[in-house]
Chain A
């Protein structure tokens, strides 16, 4: 049971990605008590999985680290990982919330010595790397995880592996009898910053994701390019581990499509152009083709587009890919479309294809929760008529980190107003 004292002057932030962290910090630095809950065992959200940020191509961990430091210095923020909202009721100025904590089986005495992981034999899919590799069932979620603390997967708690882990831990950090727990909070306002999930690429059946191993998604590409990812930063074909010689980026994979996501996901053009620079950096001989309907690079981001266009190894081809088929013998992929600039039928073969899949907002999915306004696609609208629960970041619209941070700041301010109004 967590000892958290809150009042209707406090703010609850749900989701510990860039948006949630920002809302929490802004409100706390303005003097309000904040509780932040995050479902994953670490903070940082999707950003922690990116290799580099566009347009500056700097490592995201740097920005995250600055925010974590701000959090550590501020006693007004309490945060919980492996935590979710189980229940929420009330109205603006007075919400009663129940938080559910899933057991981590590791307490704060953990020094990250790694001995439990060495002792453990069982392996699980590495969800941080989208299942492209396996990790031990006693693991650190990733190299820069915050909080820096191991996790024991529930699957080994009752097994020999679990016992072995506990035995080798010299710090008494492993508690296999940890159980799920709940605690109640009273808060005056809520910021919903649960972020996004990648659109399920399997649903676009004519691209063969899940069926053809060399068709991957843009989020997988971020992990592949990361030095701490499944291939240590090399861009290798999943089917045979071969270095790529030519690669295709397929824009609007599922977005701008009435059969899938009718809206533009806003960031995937930039993400693909950024990823093209990853490929250039790692494999300078590789030919890169980006297939698009139109390129969406707005405001200052257009400069990045201009820069990438200058690279003679990167081709932009105006065609939505209509079909992918695989040559079973080689694993190569045949892409078909119509080049809408020339009117020619297009058939091109590639080693690998990256689907620029879009973003799906994580809606408030708590039974009995007060109604929150959303648009036809599920993005939260901060409706003045339904004040008290505010969306922040990608739950409000699919966008980049800079815009998420700006939005999260404004949502923190709205939450403060909800309290001040009472």
Chain B
């Protein structure tokens, strides 16, 4: 619960205890390298460093309700560059998972992005970054999609330049059916059901 000063004094402790890799942020020295290196920084309401600062400041609603934690694309840039060797990406995923468990629903854009990600992995066994972005943008209608693509153009170019995104569509992986079985099980587990 937030106190009347607007912060929740036990939120940091809650994160350290319950969020996967959550206690790693104790080592964060607030340098901003992750925030400045994340390819999605301009589209996040709070880039990673700010998320960590908000956790320390007890801003539970801002953190768990943020779109940033849902947007992380697992590109590893922050993990590679963090001077304190904090697995920033894992913390972001941990927070996203925790937020979902606590009943926070990802905001519409992040949700589209996540859903499309899942669909692609299910369909092809891999992610086609270019296609993923396009589908996620157009999910809100044609004109909105065009606008979004133009906004994201620079990020896309950077990803291509850093060989993190290819221009030709990805092919299906071998043994996709086995992967699908695994994904089905994972989904069951996530919903709290038992699997044999």
On chain A, the residues within 8 Å of B37 by CB distance are 322-323
Contact with A along B15-49 (1 / 0, CB 8 A): 00000000000000111110111000110000101
**A258 close to B83 (CB less than 8 A):** yes
Query: Once bound together, how far apart are the Cα atoms of A258 and B47, in whole Å?
Result: 21
The answer to whether A257 and B83 have CB atoms under 8 Å apart is yes
Report the number of A-B residue pairs with Cβ-Cβ less than 8 Å: 51
Chain B residues with CB under 8 A of A319: 31-32, 36
State whether A293 and B29 are in contact (beta carbons under 8 Å apart), knowing that A336-B36, A343-B50 are contacts in the complex.
yes
Q: Are B81 and A206 in contact (CB under 8 A)?
A: yes
Contacts of A293 in B (CB 8 A): 29-31
CB contact between B85 and one of A259, A320, A338, A340 (< 8 Å): that residue = A259
Q: Which of A335-357 contact B (CB under 8 A)?
A: 336-340, 343, 345-346
Tell whether, in the assembled complex, residue A338 and residue B36 are in contact, meaning their CB atoms are under 8 Å apart: yes
Size class of the contact patch on chain A: 10 to 19
Cα distance A257–B33 in the bound complex, in angstroms = 11
Question: B50–A256 contact, CB under 8 A?
Answer: no
Inside 8 A of B101's CB, which chain A residues have their CB?
A: none
Q: List chain B residues, Cβ under 8 A from A320.
A: 31-33, 83
The contact of B49 among A256, A258, A338, by CB within 8 Å, is A338
Classify chain B: how many residues form its interface, as a range: 10 to 19
User: Bound complex: CA of A258 vs CA of B82, how far in Å?
Assistant: 8
Contacting pair A256 B32 (CB below 8 A): no
The complex places the Cα of A340 from the Cα of B33 at a distance, in Å, of 10
Which residues of A, 235-281, contact B by the 8 Å Cβ criterion? 252, 256-259
User: Which of A206, A252, A338 contacts B35 (CB under 8 A)?
Assistant: A338
Q: Which residues of B contact A (CB under 8 A)?
A: 29-33, 35-37, 41-42, 47, 49-50, 81-85
Known: A259-B81, A322-B32, A337-B33. 4 other contacts (CB 8 A): A256-B29, A293-B29, A338-B36, A338-B47
Top 9 nearest A-B pairs by Cβ distance?
A: A338-B32, A322-B36, A257-B83, A320-B31, A258-B85, A338-B35, A338-B36, A340-B32, A322-B33
Can you name 22 A-B residue pairings with CB atoms under 8 Å?
A252-B83, A256-B29, A258-B83, A258-B84, A258-B85, A259-B81, A293-B29, A293-B31, A319-B32, A319-B36, A320-B31, A320-B33, A320-B83, A322-B32, A322-B36, A323-B36, A337-B32, A338-B32, A338-B41, A338-B49, A339-B32, A345-B41
